[in-house]
Amino acid sequence: MPSAKGRAPVLSRNVTIPVLNASLTSEPSPVHVWFWRTDFEESRCAELARLLSPAERAAAERFRFPRDRARSVISHAGLRLLLAGYLNLPPESVAFTVEGAGKPRLAAPGAISFNLSHSGVYAAAVVSRGRNVGIDIEEIRPNVAWRDIAGRFFSAEEAVWLDSMPEPESFFRLWTAKEAVLKAAGTGLTAPLDRIRVRPGEDAPPWNLRELDLAPGYAATLAFDGPPAQPEVRLLTGL
């Protein structure tokens, strides 16, 4: 199994592959969470865009606002740099396939699994081996019509829990838990949201759920199957 441990950085078109000092070799597989800022200046964004595939660049170009384009570019560049570190490949060579409901996976055979999420000025990714993984990060926005959304998509038990907790954080905690499960399963929002019953801070078998405290003003949840594990959380720097 490839290991990123102790490897020297490789220079690639003005971009250095971060030394991850992270390995997925132990059993059961560790669960690694990485997060990074996505609010870089345009010149850096243009450099990092060179790491992306034409399809990723085209997807970023479809955003109307420069801020959203930058977030898409930096999220995908960060993910490529991370996966390059684990796979010992140049970031441009990391190849993806997409499942029916849109979940990206690595095209190369092997058991490394990952999932990406982005919101506000942060991106977060989970990387593991031989597990289905999903992650969701959301900026806590007080102006979201969260009561309406909860009424439409949450179960009666979830609505009761929500009413007993401080708002709007509790909505985002619940929402990220649901979305992390749906992303781990690969169905995304094509599956009915009320079919997944979650309670923040508790597992939702077969899914292990872990709330992540990544940055003030953000809620994030990680879902993974297989044996329980304590996620190792790191800030990805040097982009």
Ligand X SMILES: CC(C)(COP(=O)(O)OP(=O)(O)OC[C@H]1O[C@@H](n2cnc3c(N)ncnc32)[C@H](O)[C@@H]1OP(=O)(O)O)[C@@H](O)C(=O)NCCC(=O)NCCS
Q: Between residues 4 and 193, which has the closer beta carbon with respect to ligand X?
A: 193
Q: Which stretch binds ligand X (CB under 6 A): 23-31, 34-42, 114-122, 151-159?
A: 114-122
Tokens of 181: 């499960």
Angle at 73 between CA 70 and CA 74, to 5 degrees: 85
| Range 174-233, binding ligand X (CB under 6 A) | 179, 183, 186, 188-190
Minimal CA–CA distance to 139: which of 163, 122, 158? 122
Distance CA 180, CA 58 (A): 26
CB atoms within 10 A of CB 14: 9
Q: Which stretch binds ligand X (CB under 6 A): 19-27, 109-117, 151-159, 200-208?
A: 109-117
Q: Which stretch binds ligand X (CB under 6 A): 13-21, 95-103, 147-155, 230-238?
A: 95-103
According to the binding rule CB under 6 A, does residue 71 interact with ligand X?
Answer: no
Answer for which of 44, 57, 63, 104 binds ligand X (CB under 6 A) is 104
* 27 in Cβ contact with 218 (< 8 Å): no
Phi, psi of 14 (to 5 degrees): 65, 10
Minimum CB–partner distance for residue 137 and ligand X (Å): 7
Which run of H or of E encompasses 171? helix 169-185
According to the binding rule CB under 6 A, does residue 120 interact with ligand X?
Answer: no
Residues that bind ligand X (CB under 6 A): 72, 75, 101-104, 115-118, 134, 136, 179, 183, 186, 188-190
